[in-house]
Amino acid sequence: MNTVERSYHHGNLRNELIRVGLELATEGGIKAVGLREAARRIGVSPSAAYRHFDSQADLLMAVREALIKKIEVDFEAALGNITELDVLNKLKTLGEIYFAFAINNPMQFELFCDVFPETPDWLPHSGSPILILSETLEQINPDSDDSRADALAVWAAMHGIAVLCSTGVLRSLPTEDKWAAQHKTFELIVRGLKHID
């Protein structure tokens, strides 16, 4: 074992592999994320990397979880300055953070969208985008029988415009045109919410 490998202990190598995996995703998307390449960049042997992750799929899931946590932190920081009563502004802020992440980090967003666990554990966990939306929508319509369904519909619209403008057919538009499309999408979301019984 070389001195570089000895310097990683108590989980440090795992965290470093995730950090480098995120760099690889930023550079080349999902296909660029590999355990051997991550190990090479760090300066450890592939066998050292495989002691922390069984496969590329395991590393991809860990990198995706790191991305989710980053988005959650951004959500929480932005929402901390908004009053509980300003619900529509909360929704607007959530949508803008999600959209900015997508168009500013299209390769990371590709990984976020295309790598999923076998069970949809992103639905219930604290801080997840869908749960934050659901809790926010409950403030708009506390009598709704299914705020989760409402949240899914709102997220579908937010996610759809983010995909179109980051990795989809609108990716070549000027940035200001992308934001104009995002703002129009939010206007339609608000119009729909006002008609929820």
Instruction: List domains and CATH numbers for the chain.
Output: 1-54 (1.10.10), 65-193 (1.10.357.10)
Give the model's pLDDT for residue 64: 86
Two structure tokens written together for 185: 């999408």
- For the segment 102-107, the average pLDDT, to the nearest whole number, is 92
The answer to whether the beta carbons of residues 45 and 84 sit under 8 Å apart is no
Two structure tokens written together for 31: 């296909």
The answer to whether the beta carbons of residues 134 and 148 sit under 8 Å apart is yes
- For the segment 148-176, the average pLDDT, to the nearest whole number, is 90
Whole-model pTM: value is 0.77
Task: Say how far apart CA 105 and CA 93 lie, in whole Å.
Answer: 18
Task: Say how far apart CA 100 and CA 139 lie, in whole Å.
Answer: 25
pLDDT score of 129 more than 70:
no
CA neighbor of 87 nearest in space, from 152, 157, 136:
136
- For the segment 19-30, the average pLDDT, to the nearest whole number, is 90
Greater model confidence, 5 or 91: 91
For residue 122, the Cα-to-chain-centroid distance in whole angstroms is 10
Residue type, 29: G
CA neighbor of 32 nearest in space, from 63, 10, 75:
63
